[in-house]
Chain A
Amino acid sequence: MLVRRSVQITWFVILWMLIFHYETLRANYLTPLAGRPLPKLALLFPPAGWIMFFQVDRAYGFAEVQGVRANGEPVRLDPHAIFETPAVGYDNIHRNVLVAVLSKGYAPSFCRFLKRKFPEYERFTVLYGVYPDVVAAPDQTRYAVAYRCEPEPRGP
């Protein structure tokens, strides 16, 4: 019984270690080595290993949302008012969580979300902003429109 349990634990430990290191090294080391994308184990481990702050550039991208009133006046919406969910001991908005909305694939659902949350605005503009170099030119920012949320056409 004891031997059987030890064998089971040994197999699990070996298997776990292999998976752990494979998943850690897969995206950035093994895939370039193999020259093709290697399969990822679903439901466990991050997609690209433990890459916390591994690459920090001087460029800084962010998202901005403007609400546009009926008179055409644009107002920058406070990101904390868009995503009000607090986090214990840190701020998700500072983690740049708003950039997730820039993806065009999410545009329809984000527009619906904005219209529900901010009914006082007629339309919205989602902007992609970038500081090209936070060290050399900290005051310089560029903006581009990612997409617009237009009011739904009224019925006849």
Chain B
Amino acid sequence: MKRANQLVLWWHHAFLEKRPSVSMGLFRLAAAFTVGCHMIPSFFHMQDNYLPTAFKTKNFFFFPMPILELVEHSPAWVIWSFMWLFLGSLAAFAAGLYSQISCILLMLSCYYFYALNNLHIGTLSFDILLVTMFLLCLTASHGDFLSLDSLRRGKDGLHKRRPYAIQRLLQLQLAWTFWYTALSKVTAGGNWITGNPYLALMNYPPMGVVRDFPLKAWLAQQSGLCYAIGLSVLTMETLIPLLWFIPRTRPAGIAIGIVFQLLLWATLHVPTIFLFLFPPMMLLFIRPEAIVRWFEARQAAQAQRGRAVLLYDGQCGFCVASVKRLRAMDLFGWVDPLDFRAQPDLTALHPALTPERCRSEMILIEPDGKIWGGFQAFQRLSRRLPLLAGAAPLMHLPGAGSVGDRVYRWVAAHRMLLHRTPACSANQCGLPPSSNSWS
């Protein structure tokens, strides 16, 4: 009975327990990057790869014949539509916009192109990527953090908790892949014990899979050393996953695993799916609570150094909603938003402040006392808030200041109309006092 209880507890901890989904949010970025890097180059040569003029090969083991036949007869407009679907869903998935739905659409478009032509994109590593993406399709947890979904919800997602099952299955997938790879090298026709595959690889012709790295010619003459390297590859593939599961050896295991993947990529022309996907999968072994604590420590350190102050109009629903989103972007707690109407003495915050100025524009007071208003405040925020970093180059383009300032002035003048309260038919509408608190 006690054993059964322990087993249930262990199972609960392993798969069912709700834990922060922060790691899945970060992993989403890696998965999107990997899919994009693998697929997008094939779209630069549509005539060669996908359109009716292309040379195509089929993966008969993976797809049932009816699907291959259906896809084979795609007219050009369908092929182009799927390309746009792929690009759109990839962008949405990377940005974490309707993260689960975009993941499913991305997966669907990957399948389409895989069925259409296996030649360039179909590799064993792509099959691994699809297994990973399949698991990501089953959850929305990857949209909780560092995502537009989190901005839509107005929460940073750092403390959002979800069942751990998918993250655990991704960990297991990686470990099993390593172990089964090692197993197949010594059984089922694998010749890493009975032969000397590494020596053969080093002697492959120049157009072979081995890169032309500095020691290659020398290694090609060292039969014993090559055999030993082959055995050490086997040992690494067996031992590295063990290190991931033991908390004390986990950091070393992850570091060794990443170096192992780097060496693989540096010596062989293997698809970069291995390099782009496996190291982030290894990082999924880091306890999500530790990542949350890391962010909290950064926020606490920022609080000690002093935060910037952002003054906004608490009676404007649009401003309140915008600040809520801004707060979600502020992962390291750099800025402290305050309703200027709730401040008894604005000059105590900065001598240059007046209620009129605060009413006319958003004000940012940096920890060193520098004060910025309107679009300039946005420009400064884009340099400081990680989730606005992507917009920073755009905001600092030549001429962006004058255009941005005009847009900002228009939005500021009409801000009362921009919130969603249907009762607001004129530019006079304020929020009830209780709605002013957004935290």
B-contacting residues of A (Cβ < 8 Å)?
A: 5-6, 9-10, 12-13, 16-17, 20-21, 24, 28-29, 40, 42-47, 49-58, 60, 62, 79, 83-97, 100-101, 106, 109-110, 112-113, 116-117, 131, 134-135, 138
Contacts and interface: CB of A to CB of B under 8 A. Distances in A.
Contacts of B169: 13, 16
4 pairs of A and B residues whose beta carbons are closest in the complex:
A56-B197, A28-B188, A47-B61, A89-B272
A93 B206 CA distance: 11
B48 interface: yes
Given A55-B191, A94-B208, A100 B269 contact: no
A44 B209 contact: no
Interface stretch (B123-131, B242-250, B302-310, B339-347): B123-131
Nearest to B120: A85
A57 B197 CA distance: 6
B400 interface: no
Contact of B165 (A12, A52, A116, A138): A12
Contacts of B201: 53, 56
Contacts of A89: 37, 265, 272, 275
B41 interface: yes
B119 A100 contact: yes
Given A49-B184, A56-B200, A88 B165 contact: no
B382 interface: no
B189 interface: yes
A47 to B, nearest CB: 4
Contacts of A62: 205, 207
B236 to A, nearest CB: 13
A106 B271 CA distance: 24
A59 B125 CA distance: 24
Interface residues of B, number: 71
Contact of B205 (A5, A16, A42, A134): A134
Interface of B: 11-12, 15-16, 37-38, 41-42, 44-45, 48-49, 53-57, 59, 61-64, 111, 119-120, 123-125, 127-128, 130-131, 134, 138, 163, 165, 168-169, 172-173, 176-177, 180-181, 184-185, 187-192, 195, 197-201, 203-205, 207-209, 211, 265, 269-272, 275
A116 B271 CA distance: 28
Contacts of B49: 85
B41 to A, nearest CB: 5
Contacts of A106: 55, 57
Contacts of A135: 199-200, 203
B165 A13 contact: yes
B41 A85 contact: yes
Given A46-B127, A53-B185, A53-B197, A113 B45 contact: no
Contacts of B275: 89
Contacts of A109: 55-56
Contacts of A20: 131, 173, 176
Nearest to A42: B64
A90 B269 contact: yes
A20 to B, nearest CB: 7
Contact of B163 (A9, A60, A79, A84): A9
B209 A45 contact: no
B41 A43 contact: no
Nearest to A110: B55
Contacts of A94: 207-209, 211, 269
B180 A96 contact: no
A134 B199 CA distance: 9
Contacts of B64: 42-43
A88 B37 contact: yes
Contact of B180 (A17, A49, A110): A49
Given A51-B190, A83-B48, 4 more contacts: A45-B131, A85-B45, A88-B41, A89-B275
A6 B207 contact: no
24 contacts: A6-B12, A10-B15, A12-B138, A13-B15, A13-B168, A21-B176, A29-B187, A40-B61, A45-B131, A49-B184, A51-B190, A56-B201, A62-B205, A85-B45, A93-B207, A95-B209, A95-B269, A101-B55, A110-B55, A134-B203, A134-B204, A135-B200, A135-B203, A138-B205
Contacts of B188: 28-29, 49, 51, 54
A131 B63 CA distance: 33
Nearest to B173: A20
A155 to B, nearest CB: 22
Contacts of B272: 87-90
Contacts of A29: 187-188
A51 B270 contact: no
A117 B323 CA distance: 56
Contacts of A86: 41, 44
Contacts of B128: 46, 50
A83 B207 CA distance: 14
Contact of A134 (B38, B180, B200): B200
A78 B191 CA distance: 32
